[in-house]
Amino acid sequence: MKNFIATIALTWLVLGGHVSALKPGQAIPNHYIVQHHSDLSADDVKKIETLLRAPANRHATFKPKGILKKYDIGGFKGYHVELDPMAVPALQKSNLIKQMQPDAVVSISSPITLPDPLPMHITKRDDGSVPANIRRIPTYTWGQSRLSHRRPKEPDFVYEAGGSTAYVIDTGIRTTHVEFAANHSFSGSRAVWGMNFIDGSPDTDENGHGTHCAGTIGGSTKGIAPLTELVAVKVFDAQGNGPWSGVLAGLSWVVEHARANGRVGRAVVNMSLGGGRWSVIEEAVTAAVNAGVAVVVAAGNAGQPVNTTSPAACPDAITVGAIDGSDLRCPWSNYGVGLDFFAPGADIDSAWCGSDTDYRTESGTSMAAPHVAGLVAYLMQQYGPHTPLQMRERLNSFGTMNMVQDAKDSSNAIVYNGNGAYLTEAAA
């Protein structure tokens, strides 16, 4: 399925007491993201907040709500606001404000239908040895196998036991799914609920996209890091729709949660989402990375240069394109300078939201990114805390190079888990 949050979506929102249909490319009326400079004094911040709360026309029938949400993502400081359009020009001229952009809605795009993958089984490492702490699982995907071998089409998946924390900013997670059942490291489900930013929606996945991504990251039979903890951060509804302001709120919550729970350097964020270029989200991702949280994003499914979409164009994100089982870049996968790694993205079988035993095969860069997020979680367990830069360097050091066909100026590297070994730079 072409499950990549790629377009401004047609959805229904209640705005100012009226129901409005938003067409692709349209902004949410009267809603803005305001980013101020991060080094402002407390007095200057109060000045901004006063401006954002003050109505432009006290006699107007439309009474904007002003500040709806504050953001604090490391060096990214800002607000989600509802404003009278007459107030916008003055705010844009303020030397206290770094940038101001309309909020907009993004959505999951249409599916890609591909043939079913072949079944596989576990054997050994490339060198014939078996790791002492090896885990064997009854069923899994070709994507797991690809990440545990230098060559494509090997009939096994080998990994060493390990896990950490992965935040999934998406449609939520069906936390009761059998893929996330307790193991020797967790007394309850390894998938837990973090935060829900969709008003009126239940704390579960009503769409399936987030559960699928979580299963690839850390499912017990489908995941790259089968022992990792998974945290659901819901920013999209049952139709896969949600505003950029909600994505920012989710990322802000993740950074705050990681700091408060000692997970900085031990956690990764998966963001299988995006749209046109939107500098605010790129600034926020950079701030999260600078705060010590690794961020993995999908490259996009438009078959275009990766610098046409956000957050994939953010240089501080780990941007992932999709390959098929023959190491060919999927024709719909974005490409080019700024794409950091390739990972399996065609015919990926993973958990789904219909029941606790529901599975579905999907295709897209939304499916490729969780392979890398899972690998980041896996390597953090094996080696301990990493800064995002250290993790990027480790992924580069261990990557399988020059195997992708039709990479189109992308970094020609397929991520690799070391086939269950405790890797060292010397061995790589």
Catalytic residues: 170, 209, 366
Which parts of 19-139 fold into alpha helices (H)? 42-53, 88-93
Instruction: Give the residue ranges of DSSP H helices in 184-269.
Output: 209-218, 244-260
Report strand pairing: 229-234 vs 318-323.
Answer: unpaired
Element (H, E) at 285: helix 279-290
By C-alpha distance, which of 184, 178, 229, 234 is closest to 210? Answer: 234
Tokens representing 262?
A: 């000692």
Distance CA 224, CA 267 (A): 15
**Measured over all CA atoms, what is the biggest interatomic distance in the chain, rounded to whole angstroms?**
78
Contacts (Cβ under 8 Å, ≥6 apart) of 299: 306, 309, 312, 319, 320, 321, 322, 333, 334, 335, 339, 365, 368, 369
Q: Which amino acid is at 340?
A: D
Checking 133-136 for CB contacts under 8 A at 24+ apart, the result is 133/160, 133/161, 134/158, 134/159, 134/160, 134/161, 134/420, 135/159, 135/160, 135/161, 135/226
User: 293 φ, ψ to 5°?
Assistant: -110, 120
- Alpha-carbon Rg for the chain in angstroms: 21
Q: Report the alpha-carbon distance of residue 270 to residue 191 in Å, rounded.
A: 14
Report helix, strand or coil for 35: strand
Q: Which two tokens stand for residue 414?
A: 């397929």
Cα distance between residue 163 and residue 169, in whole Å = 19
Q: Supply φ then ψ for residue 409, to 5 degrees.
A: 70, 10
* Residue 295 CB contacts under 8 Å (≥ 6 apart), including other chains: 268, 269, 271, 285, 288, 289, 311, 314, 316, 317, 318, 388
Helix (H) or strand (E) holding 397: helix 388-398
> Do the strands 267-271 and 229-234 form a parallel or antiparallel pair, or are they unpaired?
unpaired
**Could you report how far apart the first and last alpha carbons of the chain are, in Å?**
34
